[in-house]
Chains A and B, each alone.
Chain A
Amino acid sequence: MTPARPAHRRAPFALLLPALLGLAFLVLPLVGLLIRAPWSDLPAQLTSPEVWEALRLSLVCATAATALSLVLGVPLAWLLARTEFPGRRLVRALVTLPLVLPPVVGGVALLLLLGRNGIAGRWLDSAFGITLPFHTSGVVLAEAFVAMPFLVISVEGALRAADPRYEEAAATLGASRLTAFRRVTLPLIAPGIAAGSVLAWARALGEFGATITFAGNFPGQTQTMPLAVYLAMESDPEAAIALSLVLLAVSITVLAGLRGRWMSGP
C-alpha cells in the first residue's frame, strides 16, 4: 500500500481561506490595473515624448547602476566570502543595511555626504566641479546604493557555494589569485552573478525614495518612470496607469528571464 500523498488530502479550511485571500490581495490590484487601463488611448499615451524620456532615463540609469554594482559589488562579495579579516561580520551587516533601510533615509544620507554642501560633495564641487545631486549621475548613485546589496548577497552566496579548492587547483597550475578569480571563479559563479544582476537591475528600475530625495524630479534629467508615475497620478491618472503598465510588463519580462536562468543554472 502506498501512503497517501499530501496533495490528495484536503487542505484545512483555516489555512486555505487566508491563503486564497493572500493570493487575491497580491494579484487583484494588478488585475485592476489591467481592467482600468485606457487601452484605446494607450498607443497615444505611450508614444508621448515625456513617457519615452522617462522610460529611456529609467533603463539607462538602472543599467548604469547595475554596472556600477557589478564593478564594486563582485569584488566586495569576494572579499566577504573568501578572506578573513577582523570585523568581517560587521562589514557584512553594513553591506546589507541598505536592504532594510527606508530608501528615503538612504537619499538623505547620500545628500549629507555627496550634496553640494555635503562632507565629500563640497570638495568634489570645488576641486573638480563635479556636482552629483539633482543630476542624472545622482540617479545612478541613488539606485546603486539601494540595489547593490542585492547583487552582493547573491554573488556572495554563489561564491560560498562554489568549491574554493578549484582556486587552489588553479594556484598549483601557476595562476595568481587574480588570474584564478578571473579564469576559474568568475565562470563558476556566472549564474549567481547573472541572477544578482537581474535582481539589482529590477530593484534599481523601481527605485523611488532615494532617487527623489538625492536627485530630485527634473523631466529628462532625473525623472525616472516611478517618479513620472507618481507625478502623473496628481495631474493625469490615465497617463499614470499607462506608465504603470509599462513597468509591469518590464517586471514580468525580468521575472520570466530570471526563472529561466535559475532553472538552467547548475
Chain B
Amino acid sequence: MSSSLDARLVVERTSHATRSGFRLDLELRAAPGEVIALLGPNGAGKSTALRALAGLLPLTDGHLRLDGVTLEDPGTSVHTPAEERPVGVVFQDYLLFPHLSALDNVAFGPRCRGLGRRASREAALPWLKRMGLAEHAQARPGALSGGQAQRVALARALAVHPRLLLLDEPLAALDARTRLDVRAQLRRHLREFEAVAVLVTHDPLDAMVLADRLVVIEDGREVQSGTPAEIARHPRTDYIARLVGLNLYQGTATGHTVTLPDGGPVLTTTEDLTGPAFVAFPPAAVTLHRTRPDSSARNVWQLEVAGLDLHGDQVRVDLTGPLPMAADLTPAAAAELDLAPGSLVWAAVKATQTHAYPA
C-alpha cells in the first residue's frame, strides 16, 4: 500500500491551570482515496490530532508526510505553516465568514492562492453547483440552513484542491433529521474525493457510515484500528464494544426489504425506502438459537461462531456466514447454547430492531 498520508503525531501540552499534562501520540497512515475516522470520547485528543494535521498546532515530536513531502518534522525543524499546506478543513461549526456571500466564502481559498476576484469566483461556482447550492451563491451564511452551511464549508475546503481533507465533527451541529440527508450527501462527496480524508467524530454511526477505516483513540493513544466491521466484531476493549456496538450493511432497498449486493441475503426493515440504503442493528438485537426459531422474526440466518469475547457482563459473539454480524448475549445464555468457535447457530433479528436509511 503506497501511503499518501504518513504521520506520527506527538503533541504534548501542560495545562498550568490544572497542573496536568496531556500527550497525544498517534500514528496515521492512509492511501489516496481512503477515508479515516478518528473516533473517541471527548478529550481523547481527536481535535488535537486534527489541528496538528492542519498545522494549527505544532508537533512536539514525530513527523507528518503527505504524498512524500515532509510538512513537519520537529527533529529537523521542518514546519510548514497552515497557510502553505495542501490541506482543507471543515470546522465543527463551519466558521463561514459571516461578512462574505456563500460564493465569496468558497472563492476565498482560490483568491488567497493568487487568483483575481473574477477568476476566483469562476473557480468557486462549480463547487457550489456540485453541492447543489448554485441558487444560494449570493446568500450570506446567516441566511443558510445548517445543512446548506455544511455544504458551503465542504465546498470551501475542497476548492483549494487539498491533498488532505480534515473534517471536525462534520455532522454534530445538525438536527437529527437534516443529519441523515447531509450524512448521505457527505458520504457521496467523500467517495468522489481522490485524496485522503480524516474525519473526527464521537458518533460511531457517523464514523461507520462515512469512513473506510476507524481509528479509536482514548487518552491520546490508538486503542484499535480497522474497518468498521472488524472493529464491531472484534472490539478490543469494553469501551469499544459499547461504542461500536453496531452491525451495519449496505444494499439496495425495495419497499420494506434491503437486498445485499451479489445476491446476498435480504433484510426486512420497518422503513419504506427505495435505492441504495444502509441497514443497522445493535448486537443486543440479535437472538441466537440452536434450532431454527419459529418466531415472527423474518430475518433469520444460520451462521457459524467465529469467536467469543467477554466484555463486561456481556459476551460478544462474532458470527460468519451469509450475513456476518456481532451478537451480544449474557454469559449464562452463551453457556446454555453451548457456544464455541465452529458451532452453528440460528441468528434472528426482528424488523423493528433494525434501522434503515438512504445511503
Contacts and interface: CB of A to CB of B under 8 A. Distances in A.
Interface of A: 163, 165-166, 168-176, 179, 183-184, 187-188, 266
Contact of A183 (B55, B82, B108): B108
A174 B113 contact: yes
A169 B113 contact: no
Contacts of A184: 97
B89 A169 contact: yes
Given A166-B97, A179-B112, A188-B99, A171 B83 contact: yes
Interface in B89-142: 89, 91, 95, 97-99, 108-109, 112-113
A168 B113 contact: no
Interface in B2-43: none
Nearest to B97: A184
B52 interface: no
A173 B85 CA distance: 9
A179 B97 CA distance: 14
Given A165-B91, A168-B82, A168-B95, 8 more contacts: A166-B95, A170-B97, A170-B112, A171-B82, A172-B157, A173-B156, A174-B109, A176-B83
Nearest to B142: A266
B83 A174 contact: yes
B331 interface: no
B71 interface: no
B81 interface: yes
A187 B108 contact: no
Contacts of B99: 187-188
Contacts of A188: 97-99
A172 B82 contact: yes
Contacts of B91: 165, 169
A175 B160 CA distance: 11
B88 interface: yes
Contact of A173 (B55, B81, B108): B108
In this complex, which of B82, B84, B87, B89 has the most chain A Cβ atoms within 10 angstroms of its Cβ? B82
24 contacts: A165-B91, A165-B95, A168-B54, A168-B82, A168-B95, A170-B108, A171-B82, A171-B83, A172-B83, A172-B89, A172-B157, A173-B88, A173-B157, A173-B160, A174-B113, A174-B160, A175-B83, A176-B112, A183-B108, A184-B97, A187-B97, A187-B99, A188-B98, A188-B99
A214 to B, nearest CB: 40
B340 interface: no
Interface of B: 54-56, 81-85, 87-89, 91, 95, 97-99, 108-109, 112-113, 156-157, 160
Contacts of A175: 83, 108, 112
A166 B54 CA distance: 14
A255 B55 CA distance: 45
Contacts of A187: 97, 99
A172 B50 CA distance: 12
B56 A171 contact: yes
Nearest to B94: A169
In this complex, which of A165, A170, A174 has the most chain B Cβ atoms within 10 angstroms of its Cβ? A174
Contacts, number: 59
Contacts of B81: 171
Given A179-B112, A183-B108, A172 B54 contact: yes
In this complex, which of A173, A183, A188, A266 has the most chain B Cβ atoms within 10 angstroms of its Cβ? A173
A110 B30 CA distance: 63
B112 A173 contact: yes
Contacts of A169: 89, 91, 95, 97
Contacts of B95: 163, 165-166, 168-169
A175 B99 CA distance: 16
Contacts of B84: 174
The 9 closest A-B pairs by CB, nearest first: A174-B112, A173-B109, A169-B95, A171-B82, A187-B99, A172-B89, A175-B112, A171-B83, A174-B113
A168 B55 CA distance: 10
B108 A172 contact: no
B97 A172 contact: no
Nearest to A179: B112
A73 B282 CA distance: 60
Contacts of A166: 95, 97
A172 B99 CA distance: 18
A174 B81 CA distance: 9
In this complex, which of B84, B89, B95, B156 has the most chain A Cβ atoms within 10 angstroms of its Cβ? B95
Contacts of A168: 54, 56, 82, 95
A3 to B, nearest CB: 35
Nearest to A171: B82
B170 to A, nearest CB: 14
A84 B332 CA distance: 61
Nearest to A173: B109
Contacts of B55: 171-172
A115 to B, nearest CB: 45
Nearest to A266: B98
Contacts of B156: 173
A184 B104 CA distance: 12
In this complex, which of A169, A172, A184, A188 has the most chain B Cβ atoms within 10 angstroms of its Cβ? A172
In this complex, which of A169, A184, A188, A266 has the most chain B Cβ atoms within 10 angstroms of its Cβ? A169
Contacts of A163: 95
A108 B76 CA distance: 54
B71 to A, nearest CB: 13
Contacts of B89: 169, 172
